Structures are given as C-alpha cells and as structure tokens.
Structure 1
Amino acid sequence: MAISLSSSSQTVNSTVGSFDAPLNVRHRSPLHIVGIILGYAVMVVISVFVVLPFIWMVLASLKNNNEIYMVPVRWLPETWHFEHYLQIWQKADMLGWLGNTVFFAVVVTFLQVFTGSFAAYGFSKINFPGRNTLFLIYVATMAVPWQAYMIPQFKMLSIVGLNDTRWSIILLQAFGAFGVFMMKQFYDTIPDSLSEAARLDGLSEFGIYRRIILPLSGSSIAALAIITFTNTWNDYMGPLLYLRSPNLYTIQLGLKTFISQYDADYSMIMTGSVLSVLPILVVFLIGQKQFIEGIATSGMKN
C-alpha cells in the first residue's frame, strides 16, 4: 500500500512538473528578439568608436615616427619598440610629474569626499532654519562656470601667498557642490528613524555620521571618489594658472612642456599619453562596480 502511494505521489509530482514547466517559459516575439540584437549591435559599434582612439594611441606609442601617419594607415607596427616606455623616463621628468599628480589626486579626493559627505549629512539629516534655501544656493553655484570667478580666485590666493604652491591646487579643488549634491541625494534614501534612534541612544551628530551613515554609503562614496580622482588627475587649467616651478608640474602640465620640446617625436608623445591615461583606467576598472552602484542608487527613494 505504501509502495502504491509513493508511486502515485511521484506520478502526480511528475505530472504537475510537466504542467508547470511550459508556464515558466517566457515566449518572446521575433520583433522583440530583433530589437535586442539591434540594441547590442548599436552598443558594440559605439564601444568600438570609443575604444578605437585609445587602441591607436597604444599602438602608435610602439611605432617609429614614420609609421604613425602612413597612408594607408598601418595599425600594427612593423617593429615593436617597447623601449619607448624606458626612454621616456630619461627624456622627461615622468616620475616627478606622476608623483605630484598622485599627491594632488589623493589629497583632493580625500578632502572632497570628507567635506562633501559631511556637509550632505547636515543638509539631509539635521533640521535647521533655512536649510533648503541654503542648499539651493549652494547647489546653484554649479551653474556658475569657473571662468567667471577664475581671476578673483587667482588674486585671492596670490594675496595670501599661496600661488605656486601645492596648497593652491588643494584649496582650489578640495570643496565642491557636486559632491554635496550627490551625497545628499543618497542620504535622503536612508530612513531618518536610524538617526533619531541613535540620538536617543546618546550618539553625537559626528558619531551618527561616522558609525551609521558612512557604513551605509560605501557605493556612493566610491563613485564620488572615482569622479573626483579622475577630474583632479585630468585637470590642466588649475596647474597651468597656479604652478610655475617645474618641480610642481603635474602629468598634464608636464606633457604639455614635453610636447613643446619634442613636437616631432610623436611616438614619445603617444607614450607619455598612454602613461597618463593608464592610472585612471586602473582606478576605474577596480572601482567600476561601486561606481555604477553609487550612481544608480543616488536619488532613489525607498
């Protein structure tokens, strides 16, 4: 009797499973499939147009000067000159330029993340008179182009004696409205009940920010850090205006002087360009997951 019951139950289960299987299959129309294929094809074409100049730059850095602008274009070099990546360290102060750029990028990124996230916490989680008005005024500064206040800012830093120093670049970029806006959009998604419960437990505002808010905002902080690091690394106008001593040059300013000295040595110019882009590529590849999550979650409401 037990055997017959078990066999009948297996028959019922197999019958139910056979009926369930077709219901779980998602049928797609031929038009939908064609749309997906076209979408992927468009993305592939766009990706090729974006990546192709970088591929050409890397290959050009391994060619002779005569091969770079040959007609028709020859993509692969006849002889691979990997020694260019050793020679450029002898022809230019690449170590000093990269060291200064790394210093500025790391310090400015740390300060912008700290000041931006802390100010965003105040705008998002602390109620004080005129909070919304002050935030709108602060965010409205993003609409003012830097060229509009570039000269007054230069005069102010020159009066206090910070021109041609590292402090000029640090103070120039250590504070930004974009970071405050981005972090506030994320902090608004965190329930206020967490902050209120922490206040009842006796935590200070800085303790709430450090022990509750920051651990929950890792992806947004990573996204802001990558954006700030990239902007600081690629900045050219700031170092051009404030830095006069060659020992303070960044990679962008140093490459400009290198191009003026070796304006006909295109392979060396391409080699320096590859070295200037490589750190940014590495940083983005390491933090791309957190970057995408931070951008996607900012501004989302629970």
Structure 2
Amino acid sequence: MIARLRVVTPGTVVRLLLLTVASVAFVYPLVWLVSASLKPKTEVFDNKLVPDHVQWSNFVEVWNAGPVLQWLINSTLVAFMAAITVTISSAAVAFGFAYFRFRLRGVLFGLVLSTMMLPGAVTMIPVYLIWNKLGFVDTQVPLWAANLFGSAFYIFLLRQFFLGVPRELFEAARIDGCGFFGLFRRIALPLCRPALIIVFVFEMQASWSDLMKPLIYLQTEQYFTMPRGLKQIIDAFALSGEYHWEIAMAATLLATVPMIVVFAFAQRYLLDGLALSAKQG
C-alpha cells in the first residue's frame, strides 16, 4: 500500500504562518506576566522572558500586601452569582421570544437589542442612585443583582439557539400535557446546553475581571473583589512612594489563573457552542 503524500499549498503555508503569529501575539503577554512575577524588583521591566534571578518570595509577599484569599473568594462568589443569574434570566426571555407568537414581538425584541447601543456611562449615575436608595451600596449585591433582568446580547445569542430547536418537539410535548415551564426546562435548556455554557463562562469572565462596579460600590476592604484589591495594592505603593511591581505582577497572575482553568475545562463546550452558532447563522 503506497502512502499518499499530502500536498502543502501556498495558501496552507500562509494560514499556518498567520495562526502562528496570532498565537504568539496572544500567548506573549501571559508568558511575560509569569516571567515578571518571578523577577526581583529591579528586573521586572527588562523584557526577558527567562528571569536571570527567580524570586519565589514575590508570591509570599502578595499575601502580606492584603487579604488576597478573601478577595479571591469574593470574586468567585460574585462571578458565579452574576453568571448563573444572567444565564437563567436571559434564557427565559430568549425562550419567550423564540417560542411564543404575539403582536409586536419583533418591536419588543428590537427594543431589547437597542439597549446594547446605550453606553454604560449614561446609566451609571441613575443606577447608582437606585442601589443607594435600596441600601445596597458597599455590598456585593449591585455587582450581580442587575443580571436578574438578563442581558441583551445573551438574549439574542440564546434566542438564535432556541429558534434552531424543531418546533415539532415543543408541539409534541404540549400534546403530552407539558406546560410552558416544562417546555423550557425539559426541552429547550437541555438541547441548548452549549449555548448556556458559553453565556455562563463569558459572563463569569466579565464579572471576574470587572473593576468599574467594585470601584463604584465597594468601600469596605473585606468586600473587595480581586481587581478592586489589586488597585488598592497599587494605590498603597503610590502613597508610600515605592512601587513593588513584582508583587503587583504576582497578584495579577493569581487573579488570572482561575479564569485560565475555567476556560480550559469549558473549552470543548465553547467550541461546540460556537460551531452550532455558526451553522445556525
């Protein structure tokens, strides 16, 4: 049996080169961060990817710079609550737009999508006044509770998936006596699991790395999330007049690793969901 030789075309070579360049561009900042977190103070910005002197004590000093463990726990709690609430609420609204036929459905869906055009800076002060009136300023509630009302982008994404589910499945379930909530829970959600995982992971990452909301609503250190805590560490260096960037880099790496782990475990579901989304688009 003669093995067939694979012909490498110029187009394949160009694609591989572009993918290589893109991979290096994305990976380089992380490699630089890992390297900087292991360097002494005087070598942090020497741009060497392999440190001349490895200083593991940077990660010990991080814990002395602030209650980092508490900040990590707070970030995990807030990110999980934000992700689970926006996933459930957006899925419920998206299912309503996908399954039910009613007057002005297109107009209402257009109004939902139009909220994506509204800059966050426009609603920042009114939203703050609402939370302040409710007595939730300096608590973690404003960091996730707004997701109870869904997100326009996620509603649009999930609606496309729900529209891809054959309507005959829902009609057959209705004949068998299944209610609307049963259709949503037993048919729509299981069949659109990849999309739900995409929404959950994306929102978890967005909430985990968000600095603006904690900066606005949190004043007590024990409620800080990791981004808010990192800012406090850097501000403390500014007040002392001595910047310890090696400690800041080590703290940043600690804040980055959890999201890398989440994306690593959810990678298969993300790829499946994006592939299905592309087919339906």
Note the alpha carbon deviations across 1:130-165, whole angstroms, 9 max, x for none. 222111111111111111111111111111212111
Match of 1:88 in 2: 62
**What TM-score do the two structures reach when normalised by structure 1?**
0.86
Give the Cα–Cα distance (whole angstroms) in 2 for the partners of residues 299 and 112 of structure 1: 22
Counterpart mapping for 1:238-257 below 5 A:
238-257=213-232
- Given candidates 188, 192, 199, the residue that maps to 1:217 is 192
Give the Cα–Cα distance (whole angstroms) in 2 for the partners of residues 165 and 74 of structure 1: 42
Match of 2:30 in 1: 54
Match of 1:158 in 2: 132
Match of 2:169 in 1: 194
> Does structure 1 conserve the Cα–Cα contact (< 8 Å) formed by 2:36 and 2:45?
no
**Equivalences, count:** 276
User: What SS does the corresponding residue of 2:144 show, helix, strand or coil?
Assistant: helix
Tell me the CA shift for residue 90 of structure 1: 2.3
Equivalent AA in structure 2 for residue 168 of structure 1: P
Equivalent AA in structure 2 for residue 128 of structure 1: F
Match of 1:282 in 2: 261
Match of 1:261 in 2: 236
Which runs of 5 or more residues in structure 1 are unaligned? 1-17
Note the alpha carbon deviations across 1:226-277, whole angstroms, 9 max, x for none. 1100100011111111111111111001100101113511110100110111
Residue 66 of structure 1 pairs with residue 66 of structure 2: no
> Does structure 1 conserve the Cα–Cα contact (< 8 Å) formed by 2:89 and 2:147?
no
Match of 1:8 in 2: none
Tell me the CA shift for residue 76 of structure 1: 1.8
Match of 1:78 in 2: 52
Residue 182 of structure 1 pairs with residue 179 of structure 2: no
Give the Cα–Cα distance (whole angstroms) in 1 for the partners of residues 156 and 278 of structure 2: 10
- Given candidates 19, 24, 27, the residue that maps to 1:43 is 19
Tell me the CA shift for residue 26 of structure 1: 9.4
Which has the higher Rg, Structure 1 or Structure 2? 1
Note the alpha carbon deviations across 1:85-137, whole angstroms, 9 max, x for none. 22211222111111111010001111111011111111101122222211111
Residue 134 of structure 1 pairs with residue 108 of structure 2: yes
Q: CA RMSD in A?
A: 2.0
> Does structure 1 conserve the Cα–Cα contact (< 8 Å) formed by 2:201 and 2:263?
yes
Deviating more after overlay: 76-85 vs 184-193: 76-85
Tell me the CA shift for residue 188 of structure 1: 0.7
Equivalent AA in structure 2 for residue 135 of structure 1: F
Note the alpha carbon deviations across 1:140-199, whole angstroms, 9 max, x for none. 111111111111111111112121112211223443111111100111110111111111
> Does structure 1 conserve the Cα–Cα contact (< 8 Å) formed by 2:160 and 2:280?
no
Q: Against the structure 1 CA distance between its residues 267 and 124, is the aligned structure 2 distance closer, same or farther, given a 3 Å change threshold? A: same
> Does structure 2 conserve the Cα–Cα contact (< 8 Å) formed by 1:189 and 1:299?
no
Equivalent pairs: percent with the same residue?
29
Q: Against the structure 1 CA distance between its residues 199 and 208, is the aligned structure 2 distance closer, same or farther, given a 3 Å change threshold? A: same
> Does structure 1 conserve the Cα–Cα contact (< 8 Å) formed by 2:198 and 2:270?
yes
Tell me the CA shift for residue 299 of structure 1: 6.2
Match of 1:13 in 2: none
> Does structure 1 conserve the Cα–Cα contact (< 8 Å) formed by 2:197 and 2:269?
yes
Match of 1:228 in 2: 203
Which runs of 5 or more residues in structure 2 are unaligned? none
Give the Cα–Cα distance (whole angstroms) in 1 for the partners of residues 109 and 278 of structure 2: 15
User: What SS does the corresponding residue of 2:178 show, helix, strand or coil?
Assistant: coil
Q: Against the structure 1 CA distance between its residues 202 and 299, is the aligned structure 2 distance closer, same or farther, given a 3 Å change threshold? A: farther
Give the Cα–Cα distance (whole angstroms) in 2 for the partners of residues 145 and 101 of structure 1: 25
